Amino acid sequence: MPRKCGSCGVKNAILKRPKTGDALCKECFYWAFEEEIHHTVLQAKLFSPGETVAIGASGGKDSTVLAHTMKVLNERHNYGLKLILLSVDEGITGYRDDSLETVKRNQQQYDLPLTIVSYEELYGWTMDAIVKQIGLKNNCTFCGVFRRQALDRGAMMLGADKIVTGHNADDIAETVIMNVLRGDIARLRRCTAITTGTDGYLPRCKPFKYTYEKEIVMYAYFKKLDYFSTECIYSPNAYRGFARAYIKDLEKIRPSAIIDIIHSGESMQVKKEVRMPTQTTCTRCHYISSNEVCKACVMLEGLNKGRPRLGIGKIHKERRKWDEELAAQGKLQTVDGGGTDSGNVQVADGETESSAGNEQRTCSGVCSGVC
Ligand SMILES: Nc1ncnc2c1ncn2[C@@H]1O[C@H](COP(=O)(O)OP(=O)(O)OP(=O)(O)O)[C@@H](O)[C@H]1O
């Protein structure tokens, strides 16, 4: 005999919720999924009536479900928000051009205004051109840094008060694990925050912080939402891939592992003596930065001068080489972008680690980078 829905007890259960194991009918699953997100929104006081909220829309499953859910909750619970879709075109032929077509369809389906900003117009470089210059190894660093700033710039241009992204619980748990493994104290402290950037220009919120990826996929599947599911062609993303596989294995044994890791990350305290990056404004582009010159400007300068490694990770060696060359030519000058550790923060163990303003991610594509 078919099992009845564990919530309404009337309809037959047709699915088992990955997060709780509850057997539910479709309608009760939709309700539970949406109302949990509403609960998160209320608990974290994410929005205030009258705000304009830019939804980071990549066309992928997370941001498509986010746009759909934000619209549903805004209407159901009278949030009083003006919602807009904001997409960044990184200039990846055969990937982003296709996913943007999905966003354009979503614009019609959800009746929300859409704005697309591109790396080409903002930086004069597409990811295709960047990859031609630097290859596949570090391109995700460029992409993550530029995208973060591009979203900020686009949202500011639109007069938005906040940005929301589709980062989900799995993404955040992966990031906690990655930051633990790297000993990256600065990022470990902020990676579980549901809202970041409150000390910068635009707060950035993650309404899916406690939403499991499997449930997002299930929701999109049963609701027949129109989304794009191809992986970024430039994203080998090995390190995050290991963290992802590890979390998926844990989830199989104990589904609560994802939330437990997030809670562990939230509970960790950073010792007072650990130096954390301080926020300032980039002297060149005037966007938020933890250095005199922001990571995006350092990277752009490296690209424009044919020295793309200037902006990546531990840049001392490359910069020293450049300084030596300039000195040999008798034209040593201060390299724009500050001192030798521009773009780096000191972390607990005395190592340096690159920091993209306040949030640098390894790429995502479907590349699930969380800040
Ligand atoms: N090109 C983009 N334009 C606008 N927003 C983006 C873009 N890429 C990523 N985002 C935002 O950042 C979030 C996390 O992106 P990520 O690249 O990690 O992909 P993801 O986890 O597969 O998400 P999605 O399924 O929405 O693509 C997305 O959900 C979206 O809100």
Atom of ligand 1 nearest to the CA of 55: 31
| Residue 329 pLDDT | 64
Task: Name 84's bridge partners.
Answer: 54
Q: Does residue 302 have its Cβ closer than 6 Å to ligand 1?
A: no
The first and second tokens of residue 323, run together, are: 């300084």
Q: Compute the distance from residue 365 Cα to the ligand 1 centre, in Å.
A: 7
Task: Name 56's bridge partners.
Answer: 86
Does position 97 have pLDDT exceeding 50, yes or no? yes
Task: Name 163's bridge partners.
Answer: 54, 204
Q: How confident is the model at residue 110 (pLDDT cuts 50, 70, 90)?
A: very high
Does position 350 have pLDDT exceeding 50, yes or no? no
Does position 317 have pLDDT exceeding 70, yes or no? no
Tell which wins on pLDDT, 353 or 268. 268
Q: How confident is the model at residue 185 (pLDDT cuts 50, 70, 90)?
A: confident
**The domain 26-267: what is its CATH number?**
3.40.50.620
Q: Compute the distance from residue 58 Cα to the ligand 1 centre, in Å.
A: 5
| Residue 368 pLDDT | 29
Q: What is the pLDDT of residues 111-129, one digit of tens each?
A: 999 999 999 999 999 999 9
Torsion of CA 27, 33, 35, 40, to 10 degrees: 180
The first and second tokens of residue 305, run together, are: 């001068």
Q: Does residue 167 have its Cβ closer than 6 Å to ligand 1?
A: yes
Residue with the two structure tokens 């999109």: 220
| pTM across the whole model | 0.84
Q: Does residue 367 have its Cβ closer than 6 Å to ligand 1?
A: yes
Does position 318 have pLDDT exceeding 80, yes or no? no
The two beta strands, 52-56 and 82-89, are: parallel
- State the average pLDDT over residues 85-92: 97
Q: Compute the distance from residue 339 Cα to the ligand 1 centre, in Å.
A: 33
CA dist list (Å): 257 to 36, 125, 202, 218, 267: 18, 41, 31, 19, 15
b/e burial code for range 128-163 (CB count within 10 A of at least 16 → b): bebbeebeeebbbbbbbbbbbbbbbbbbeeeebbbb
Atom of ligand 1 nearest to the CA of 64: 26
| Model ipTM over 0.95 | yes
The first and second tokens of residue 319, run together, are: 């910069």
| Residue 72 pLDDT | 98
Q: Which of 53, 58, 143, 175 to mutate to test the pocket of ligand 1 (most atoms within 8 A of CB)?
A: 58
Q: Does residue 369 have its Cβ closer than 6 Å to ligand 1?
A: yes
Q: Does residue 91 have its Cβ closer than 6 Å to ligand 1?
A: no
CATH 3.40.50.620, the chain: domain bounds: 26-267
Q: What is the pLDDT of residues 127-162, one digit of tens each?
A: 999 999 988 888 888 999 999 999 999 999 999 999
Q: Compute the distance from residue 16 Cα to the ligand 1 centre, in Å.
A: 27
* CA angle (333 as vertex; 329, 336 as ends), nearest 5: 130
The two beta strands, 23-24 and 82-89, are: unpaired
